[in-house]
Chain A
């Protein structure tokens, strides 16, 4: 870790609010910390700032004059909801069929390739470590054209790109 990466003990304690917003704290700790958050106006203010930052980065930074107060007032007027939940186990069991399918997957892949000796060995993908900044707009026209066939609703997923090199094919062809 570089010099300026060292964190003071006080800072480390304060990190939890940021991690809590991202859902990166375990349940037990999370519950306790939420308790603190509910009680402390300064912490709540910071929560609000962090939410605003995220919304602004995503292009949602609307100032909604009056809405904040309206919501607060309306909620205050509501009878308190009391419908306690027993904490469920958060272990989601993977359905049995999928485990079987996943195991079959690896076997079938290799079988396909080795059954065809007359073809050259499949190209290996070697990923170079640096990520490539490719404009999403570069890929959008392909995606739109592709979606003519795959699905009629146009969605614009976020994509990540990396340079790769192909080993085992002649001369970069």
Chain B
């Protein structure tokens, strides 16, 4: 008998989906696309309010979220319930964070702000090219019935994902990024959620746009990436300042819709040692190297082969 509350799986155990619980065959593309698109749309279009927990390794955060769904006023407000007092207001393409620190409040503007449960791309159907989608069993998360969906990568260039979508609305209630052995690398789960609430009348939101843009378009491209792993396209290219650093860098982002790999390009002021970095469990991989007069850093929530493939095919233009 499953408990009513939502239990997170420990990050050292594989996702306990019994062999019989998953259909052996992936869904046909059209059906898979439909499932994914419904989940993607629901996270954007619905209004909902709840609390979710984020878990990566030993890090755990609890956040309260209010999402106001439809139309041009789509906006979400996230409030941290632990750690420093922090609130994030997210709109399409940017976000504003308010962080309580020391005796005051610091504001932080970020490009974009992808957050649970809105993790699938707008064109979710395209994911079927790179992931095999399988339906799993019914479950209960945060007191609601939901259905498991497993996205298995078709190659070594991306991590897998497992999501549980609420039966009526298809809102993801639980989402995990998993490695090739099925072990969770990162997970989100609602502990309580109310779907379809009209958010309480809040204070009028501050206009996020300011005269000082965080990033601007890229006028020149000093390097080129000759070859990309399948499914990855460039989704962003900006010149920007890095947080806590004075210099401007070029920041390009490649994505297959779910996985994101960043490329940072800056002048090499002195000879650059080639350095590989990986996080615990290998979820995040990084390579820094010198290409001509440039220092390039590739950093992604992707398996090492993807970061390596991109990093080794960069050449000076």
Contacts and interface: CB of A to CB of B under 8 A. Distances in A.
B308 A125 contact: yes
A148 B112 contact: yes
Interface string B41-56: 0000000000000101
B275 A149 contact: no
B230 A149 contact: no
A162 B181 CA distance: 24
Interface string B83-99: 00000101000010000
A155 B56 contact: yes
B226 A119 contact: yes
Contact of B312 (A123, A132, A160): A123
A34 B282 CA distance: 33
A153 B61 contact: yes
A164 B54 contact: no
Interface string A72-96: 0000000000000000000011111
B114 A102 contact: no
A145 B19 CA distance: 39
B312 A122 contact: yes
B268 to A, nearest CB: 11
Interface stretch (B66-74, B200-208, B285-293): B285-293
Contacts, number: 189
A108 B286 contact: no
A173 B274 CA distance: 10
A173 B292 contact: yes
Interface residues of B, number: 84
B274 A163 contact: yes
B57 A141 contact: no
Contacts of A139: 277, 286, 299
Interface string A136-159: 000111111110111111011111
B174 interface: no
Contacts of A140: 243-244
Given A148-B111, A158-B280, 4 more contacts: A93-B19, A96-B22, A109-B155, A144-B244
11 contacts: A95-B14, A98-B181, A101-B180, A125-B276, A134-B275, A145-B111, A146-B299, A151-B119, A152-B78, A157-B279, A164-B276
Interface of A: 92-98, 101-102, 104-106, 108-109, 112, 116, 119, 122-123, 125, 127, 132, 134, 139-146, 148-153, 155-166, 169, 172-173
